[in-house]
Amino acid sequence: MRLADLHRTTSFRLAVLFLLLFGAAAALLCTFLYMQTRNYLDRRADAVLLEELAPFGGLDAAELHQLLAAHVAMDPHLHRPITLFGPAGEYLAGSQVGAQQFHVLAEPTSEPFTFTLQRDGRTVPFRGVARNYPDGRHLLVAQDMASARAFRSLLLESTFWGGLATIVLGLIGAVAAGAGAVRHIEGITRAVETIVRGDLSGRLPTHGHVRELDRLAHEINYMLGEIERLMLEVKGVCDNVAHDLRTPLTRLLAGLERVRRRAGSKNDYAAAVDEAIQEIRGLLKTFAAMLRIAEVESGARRAGFTALDLKQVTGDVVEFYEPMAEQKGVALTMADGAGAPMLGDPSLLFEALSNLVDNALKFTAPGGRIDVRVLADDGIQGIEISDTGPGIPADQRDAVLRRFYRAEQSRHTPGSGLGLALVAGVAGLHDMAVRIDDANPGCRIALVGPRHSQD
């Protein structure tokens, strides 16, 4: 997006629209003010004129002429002319305004009217009111309106300049807002281009001038973060799959090549074939586990949910592992507690719990103990398994739930590194969370979900 596209930005358009609306409103207001002011000035002038005309009502001719002479002396520059005219409009006495034609319709005084006079070579506007006498003469009282007119044009001028300033400032504001949006969008476009080119660590700029865009950018950035995390996870899984499969495949190949090279007895071949079968079984197991995790994570297994009691499944798992624990000299006990009815896949839950008990057995030394407890408190239900093994360091508790992750100290024990990933998947499928903490000493793992009603 270029600056030439400014007029197409929403910000710019909005600013211009507001400018137009504001301008129209301001113009209306100014017009109204102007009209009111003009009318007020005219009305005030008219009132003064009528007041001035009033004293001339009851005077006789001598008094009138005397008064007019006094007024001419007081107003030599014709600012407030008062003149007496004959029936044909000829000048009789008072201020020298020259002959004037009046159309005096109303009696005894006319409506105020506007006329012009030549004074010092200039046309000057006057406002006047006339009084008719019964003998046909009439008296004009007028006022120079030049200063009032000057005020009016001043008002018009200031309205004009004010309006112009508003338009210019408004346009500058619109351009600034539009340009800010354009720059912001350009920033976002560049960031998106970087991301599209493959740099997933790129993020959209969020310090623009448009709040809404910022919020959107924040949301998109969060989404990008999630995508990056998932991509890294997938990449990690791929790397691990490659590694975890290459190791047994290398052993398989090496074993087969060795027996081919040495070409011993039939028994040697049979042993090599058995070894190969073992390796391949292991590989297939890894694949099956990965597929099942994928299946569990996809949520497709929810279709096979049935009503079950978590306590029943847990009891079965404990019973399943009892002889094994006995053989190893580890005390495996299950605390008595309330039932925990829920909807779920019994086989998956059995497998997940088996993995947990199996792990606990693997890491608990003879003489240790493993306690299994079904949690069925207010609002939550789940299973808690604590052992007296070495425990899981706090910084690895999230990592152990990932596929193929194997803690440093467990690297030499048998296992695929998929057990806890399956546990996490199964827990997620059943709306349960995996919680790992310290049993001091040992590890305490719990699968905790919302309590299901007893219906």
Partner 1 sequence: MTRVLIVEDDPQTVKEIMAALHDHGFAVDSTDTGREGLLKAAAENYDAIVLDRMLPGGLDGLGMLATLRTAGVETPVLILSALSGVDERVRGLRAGGDDYLTKPFDFLELTARLDVLLRRRSAAPQRETMLRAGSLEMDLLTHTVRRTGKPVELLPREFRLLECLMRHAGQVVTRTMLFEEVWNYHHIEATNVIDVHIGKLRRKLDPDGARPMIETVRGAGYILRAAG
Q: Which residues bind partner 1 (CB under 8 A)?
A: 274, 277, 281, 284-285, 288-289, 291-292, 295, 300-301, 303-304, 316, 319-321, 323-324, 327, 345-348, 350-351, 354, 358
Give min distance, CB of 289 to partner 1, in A: 7
Nearest approach, Cβ of 303 to partner 1 (angstroms)?
Answer: 5
Give the DSSP per-residue string, 52-117.
HHGGGTT--HHHHHHHHHHHHHH-TT-SS-EEEE-TTS-EEEES----------SSSBPPPEEEEE
Pairing state between β 331-334 and 306-309: unpaired
- Measured from the CB of residue 317, what is the shortest distance to partner 1 in angstroms? 9
**Closest C-alpha to 188, from 222, 216, 228, 230:** 216
Task: Report the residue number, 78 or 272, with the smaller CB distance to partner 1.
Answer: 272
CB 217 to partner 1: min, Å = 41
Sign, CA torsion 387/391/397/401: negative
Q: How far is the CB of 270 from partner 1 (least distance, A)?
A: 11
CA distances from 121 to 117, 254, 272, 304 (A): 10, 123, 131, 108
Please identify which residue in the block is written with the tokens 């001091």: 440
Least distance in angstroms from the C-beta of 331 to partner 1: 16
Nearest-angstrom CA–CA distance, 358 and 317 = 10
Cβ atoms < 10 Å from Cβ of 173: 16
Nearer to partner 1, 323 or 450 (CB): 323
Nearer to partner 1, 45 or 361 (CB): 361
CB 80 within 8 A of CB 70: no
- Select 354 or 396, whichever has its Cβ closest to partner 1: 354
Q: Rounded to whole angstroms, how far apart are CA atoms 20 and 176?
A: 17
> Which residues have a Cβ under 8 Å from the Cβ of 295 and sit 6 or more positions away?
301
Nearer to partner 1, 193 or 319 (CB): 319
Q: Toward partner 1, which CB reaches closer, 229 or 281? A: 281
* Two structure tokens written together for 436: 């790992």
* Between 284 and 365, CB nearer to partner 1: 284
The answer to whether 299 and 348 have CB atoms below 8 angstroms apart is: no
Nearer to partner 1, 115 or 405 (CB): 405
CA–CA gap between residue 357 and residue 22 (Å, rounded): 74
**Contact assessment for residue 276 and residue 252, using Cβ atoms and an 8 Å cutoff:** yes
Overall size of the chain counted in residues: 455
| Minimum distance of partner 1 from residue 358's CB (angstroms) | 5
Distance between CA atoms of 311 and 313, rounded to whole angstroms?
6
Residue 99 has phi, psi (to 5 degrees) of -70, 140
- What is the closest distance, in whole angstroms, from the C-beta atom of residue 251 to partner 1 in the complex? 18
Residue 453's identity, in one-letter code, is S
Select 324 or 433, whichever has its Cβ closest to partner 1. 324
Least Å from the CB of residue 412 to partner 1: 18
Smallest gap from Cβ 234 to partner 1, in A, equals: 22
Structure-token pair, residue 87: 């029936």
Tell the smallest beta-carbon distance from residue 313 to partner 1 (Å).
Answer: 8
When the beta carbons of 36 and 327 are compared against partner 1, the nearer one is: 327
Do residues 113 and 35 lie in contact, with contact meaning Cβ atoms separated by under 8 Å? no
Task: Rank residues 128 and 419 by Cβ distance to partner 1 and give the closer one.
Answer: 419
> Closest distance between partner 1 and the C-beta of residue 383, in Å?
16
Q: Is 386 helix (H, G, I), strand (E, B) or coil?
A: strand
| CB of 149 or CB of 292, closer to partner 1 | 292
- Count of CA atoms in the C-beta half-sphere (13 A) of 411: 4
CB distance 140 to 83 below 8 Å: yes
Q: Cα separations (Å) of 25 from 152, 154, 163, 262, 300?
A: 21, 21, 11, 102, 63
Torsion sign across C-alpha atoms 365, 367, 368, 369: positive
